[in-house]
Structure 1
Amino acid sequence: MFNTMYFLLLALSFSIIFLFNLFRTKQSNNNRSNTTARLRLPPGPKGLPLIGNLHEFEPTQPHLWLYRLSKKYGPLMRLKFGCRPAIVISSARVAKLALKNNDLAFSGRPSLISFQKYSYDGRDITLSSYNETWREMRKLSLMHLFSVKQVVSFRPIRKDEVSTMIQEMNEKSGSSQVINLSRAAFFLTNRIISRAGFGKKYDEMGKRRFDKCLKEAQELGVAFFFGDYFPSLGWIDNLTGMKSRLDNNCRDLDNIYQETIDDHLDPNRPESMRGDILDLLIQLKHKQQASPVPVEWENVKGILMNVFIAGTDTSASLIVWVMTALIKKPEVMKKAQEEVRNALGNKGTVDEDDIPNLTYLKAIIKEALRLFPPTPLSVPRETIQKCTVDGYEIPEKTMVYVNVHAIGLDPEYWENPTEFSPDRFLNSTIDYRGHDFGLLPFGSGRRGCPGINFGIATVELALANLLYSFDWELPSGMKKEDIDMEMSPGITSHKKNDLCLLAKRYEYNN
């Protein structure tokens, strides 16, 4: 219904403004054609006048649509979305040429409506464009918020919340109740983020409001806004209600941030709020007041948004996809369980000191990141200067999509790319930190994810305890072939249907 309305409004609007823009467009096209003739642009599907390739766009699974197109047009492909030119990178080789050899040129972010709103007009780390303020915020975050030392300081929180999850599952396993692993992973990551980020327990954050805001933000983050691609038609976003939805969601999020900030500024605040991410941000704000790039409250809220939205969904998604892959490959799960149980004996629980010894578990996580990256289509970048990639010229202000899903299936980089085979990472130096361009779940270079250590620590500890504590089975009457691998729409690649399994407590004292 909404798609039909969009295109009816779009057709009407084009009819009204067509004559007005005709002469200007023709003159602009003449100038552009002279310039384009001198450029060697990447290949791509031919679009329609004015709207380009928007009519072909598949919003529910864009990474799959772009992957299919890349099979025809190549690993460096050109598209046009309204007034915005775009390229798509779909192979490890081209990713290296672009993101390593031209890291600076590809370090921008497009000024999209939702990006601007969620980032407080470019005051965060993830969505703001490349400038002096962004460089300072990223440096401070890497040094003070997401450093290895700081991630280690949150170990007690991770241990406590993972133990709580295992205890809850143990109660259900004793009565043979089906365990919804999707919900368990979601609650686990939210509880950890609530305590490490805001110094509050998940229930104290008002979890229903918390969850509702997060779900709405995930949907709006990939929603279509006319103003992004047709600036003169931005008023349509008001008519369709999209602008109102975005404003309401941002207002609700801002209320959460402000309430939590007020709690932290209270001199009688609880001890749990000392040393959390928000507390560190407030300290940085005071210390950087006289700096050429001071930390403002908008920067604090923008970074809280990064922690709140990016820090919860991605880790939960990865935990679920790993368990989904393992239940479909029992021999791999058995090997992983043998590793962790042999390493721990009758210790009873896995802590983070045990993780370095679990090489097969680490290989499983890498393989899951390759096949099921939490963000299969990276947050779009934008070129901040003209550059050349693989012999093609990429103009400034070109939107850039890195298809992480396609790169993980690149047959030139991976042998048997569609097969889930963690053994490929044993005795391999390939890692997910952005230096190996066939595995880019967290990006690379200047735009690499600063919270990678925090997220991976949660995933490793949770999975190690799930595999150590329980033997996992499918519910009665279900076969592994019945488990679907569909993804729900959104920024993060959540499994569309919840993963529900039976757990049998492992008797490690035997």
Structure 2
Amino acid sequence: MLLLLVFLMVLPLFLLWKHRVNGGKLLPPGPPGLPLIGNLHQLERSATHRYLWHLSKQYGPLMFLRLGFEPILVVSSPRTAEVMKTHDPEFSSRPSLLALQKLSYNGLDLAFASYGTDTVTATMVWTMTALMKNPRVMKKAQKEVRTLVGEKCFVDEDDIQKLTYMKALVKEIMRLYPAAPLLIPRETLQKCNIDGYEIPSKTLVFVNAWAIGRDPESWENPEEFMPERFLGTCIDFKGQDYKLIPFGAGRRIWPGMNLGAVTVELALANLLYSFDWEMPAGMKMEDIDTDAKPGLTMTKKNDLYLVARNYI
């Protein structure tokens, strides 16, 4: 009897919730949620971008979720990411920080603070992590920069333009380790139609740049760290190639993109020119992990310790 009473009390709330969240619209597919909280319980993960990537394999590259009554659209493929161009006006708003507290730890995530400085630091850490795990690439990059610079003792911006392999290396890092794997979220200004689905206004939009960088239909051996894939190609991260969008695209592309990229290239080139890098005593290459901290900005969970020995 008690269970029947509880059911009768909850049923109207559930029906009201279903009507309010769907309203008869044809929404993109997505995991079923619970009444009132939606998919909130499913996002308790240390790496949200990775979890959403796994969900997209089941529900598709255009996926719909809800955090409570807040509608969420997750874009996970280069083709669907073109909404940043085809629906740029509708997708050009930024959400309030209040709406992002679940995923950005009360809005204090780096993506909403000093993006131009902290994300460069995070990118450098991921770069050195990848290079220590791939000594072949490290040696090739060092040979290029040391051959070009000679005994000048430092690398400047003019040198960077001649470092073809170094530029390919930075692109490969941004493919595999985008500083903001879900980019900086957008919010739809008005309802729109994508692939036959109706996207409500005030929908929070996450573009999973991390998943797009690992799309097997766009990249050969996507999990392999291989800068050579960019040699002899015109693929760039300036928002025109939707399979490589670490800074986003459209009118909401990160305005500090060029400065950030040059800063990473200069810092990396000088680190590789000036020092030979080794593991601390007792550590092996296999000991270096690639675990990330939770949050909208992807920073390494465990500190990276290396030994630098002067080259010159």
Q: TM-score of the superposition, structure 1-length normalised?
A: 0.56
How far the C-alpha of 1:57 sits from its partner, in A, is: 1.0
Structure 1 414/452 Cα, relative in aligned 2: closer, same or farther at 3 Å? same
Alignment of 1:71 with 2:57, yes or no, is yes
1:472 touches 1:502 (CA, 8 Å); kept in 2?
yes
- Whole-Å separation in 2 of the counterparts to 1:423 and 1:409: 16
> What value does the CA root-mean-square deviation take over the aligned residues?
2.6
- Whole-Å separation in 1 of the counterparts to 2:20 and 2:311: 71
The residue type paired with residue 48 of structure 1 is: L
1:81 paired residue number? 67
Q: 1:223 aligns with which of 105, 117, 127?
A: 105
The residue type paired with residue 74 of structure 1 is: G
Structure 1 381/325 Cα, relative in aligned 2: closer, same or farther at 3 Å? same
Q: Which of the two has greater helix per residue?
A: 1
How far the C-alpha of 1:320 sits from its partner, in A, is: 1.0
- Whole-Å separation in 2 of the counterparts to 1:306 and 1:41: 28
Alignment of 1:53 with 2:39, yes or no, is yes
Structure 1 370/27 Cα, relative in aligned 2: closer, same or farther at 3 Å? closer
1:321 paired residue number? 126
Q: Which runs of 4+ in 1 moved over 4 A?
A: 21-33, 305-308
Alignment of 1:421 with 2:226, yes or no, is yes
- Whole-Å separation in 1 of the counterparts to 2:271 and 2:120: 15
How far the C-alpha of 1:310 sits from its partner, in A, is: 1.0
1:334 paired residue number? 139
Structure 1 residue matching 2:298: 3-state secondary structure: coil
- Whole-Å separation in 1 of the counterparts to 2:223 and 2:156: 33
Structure 2 residue matching 1:48: 3-state secondary structure: coil
- Whole-Å separation in 2 of the counterparts to 1:108 and 1:442: 16
1:495 paired residue number? 300
- Whole-Å separation in 2 of the counterparts to 1:493 and 1:31: 34
How far the C-alpha of 1:491 sits from its partner, in A, is: 2.7
- Whole-Å separation in 1 of the counterparts to 2:187 and 2:274: 46
1:206-355 to 2 correspondences below 5 Å: 222-223=104-105, 309-355=114-160
- Whole-Å separation in 2 of the counterparts to 1:100 and 1:85: 21
1:259 paired residue number? none
- Whole-Å separation in 2 of the counterparts to 1:458 and 1:375: 17
2:30 touches 2:63 (CA, 8 Å); kept in 1?
yes
The residue type paired with residue 298 of structure 2 is: S
Q: Deviations over 1:4-39 (max 9, x none)?
A: xxxxxxxxxxx9xx97x9868756755776x41xx3
- Whole-Å separation in 2 of the counterparts to 1:32 and 1:459: 43
Structure 1 427/48 Cα, relative in aligned 2: closer, same or farther at 3 Å? same
- Whole-Å separation in 2 of the counterparts to 1:503 and 1:26: 63
The residue type paired with residue 96 of structure 2 is: S
- Whole-Å separation in 2 of the counterparts to 1:54 and 1:306: 21
Alignment of 1:409 with 2:291, yes or no, is no
Structure 1 339/382 Cα, relative in aligned 2: closer, same or farther at 3 Å? same
The residue type paired with residue 491 of structure 1 is: L
Q: 1:462 aligns with which of 262, 267, 274?
A: 267
How far the C-alpha of 1:75 sits from its partner, in A, is: 0.6
Structure 1 residue matching 2:158: 3-state secondary structure: coil
How far the C-alpha of 1:456 sits from its partner, in A, is: 1.5
1:135-150 to 2 correspondences below 5 Å: none
Structure 1 61/30 Cα, relative in aligned 2: closer, same or farther at 3 Å? closer
Structure 1 224/50 Cα, relative in aligned 2: closer, same or farther at 3 Å? farther
How far the C-alpha of 1:109 sits from its partner, in A, is: 2.0
How far the C-alpha of 1:390 sits from its partner, in A, is: 2.2
- Whole-Å separation in 2 of the counterparts to 1:484 and 1:404: 21
Q: Deviations over 1:236-284 (max 9, x none)?
A: xxxxxxxxxx8xx9xxxxxxxxxxxxxxxxxxxxxxxxxxxxxxxxxxx
- Whole-Å separation in 2 of the counterparts to 1:417 and 1:31: 40
Q: Deviations over 1:179-237 (max 9, x none)?
A: xxxxxxxxxxxxxxxxxxxxxxxxxxxxxxxxxxxxxxxx9971269xxxxxxxxxxxx
How far the C-alpha of 1:307 sits from its partner, in A, is: 9.1
Structure 1 63/327 Cα, relative in aligned 2: closer, same or farther at 3 Å? same
1:313 touches 1:492 (CA, 8 Å); kept in 2?
no
2:3 paired residue number? none
- Whole-Å separation in 2 of the counterparts to 1:373 and 1:344: 29
**Unpaired runs of at least 5, structure 1:** 1-14, 116-218, 226-245, 250-304
1:103 paired residue number? 88
- Whole-Å separation in 1 of the counterparts to 2:14 and 2:56: 30
- Whole-Å separation in 1 of the counterparts to 2:74 and 2:88: 16
1:93 paired residue number? 79
- Whole-Å separation in 1 of the counterparts to 2:262 and 2:102: 28
1:479 paired residue number? 284
2:111 touches 2:184 (CA, 8 Å); kept in 1?
no
Structure 2 residue matching 1:500: 3-state secondary structure: coil
Question: More deviation in 24-33 or 75-84?
Answer: 24-33
2:39 touches 2:65 (CA, 8 Å); kept in 1?
yes
**Unpaired runs of at least 5, structure 2:** 1-5
2:162 paired residue number? 357
Structure 1 345/396 Cα, relative in aligned 2: closer, same or farther at 3 Å? same
1:474 touches 1:501 (CA, 8 Å); kept in 2?
yes
- Whole-Å separation in 1 of the counterparts to 2:128 and 2:56: 30
2:30 paired residue number? 44
Structure 1 residue matching 2:270: 3-state secondary structure: helix
2:188 touches 2:200 (CA, 8 Å); kept in 1?
yes
Alignment of 1:394 with 2:199, yes or no, is yes
Structure 1 30/367 Cα, relative in aligned 2: closer, same or farther at 3 Å? closer
1:320 touches 1:499 (CA, 8 Å); kept in 2?
yes
How far the C-alpha of 1:468 sits from its partner, in A, is: 0.5
1:321 touches 1:368 (CA, 8 Å); kept in 2?
yes
2:48 paired residue number? 62
How far the C-alpha of 1:442 sits from its partner, in A, is: 0.5
- Identity value in percent: 55
2:78 touches 2:243 (CA, 8 Å); kept in 1?
yes
- Whole-Å separation in 1 of the counterparts to 2:121 and 2:46: 20
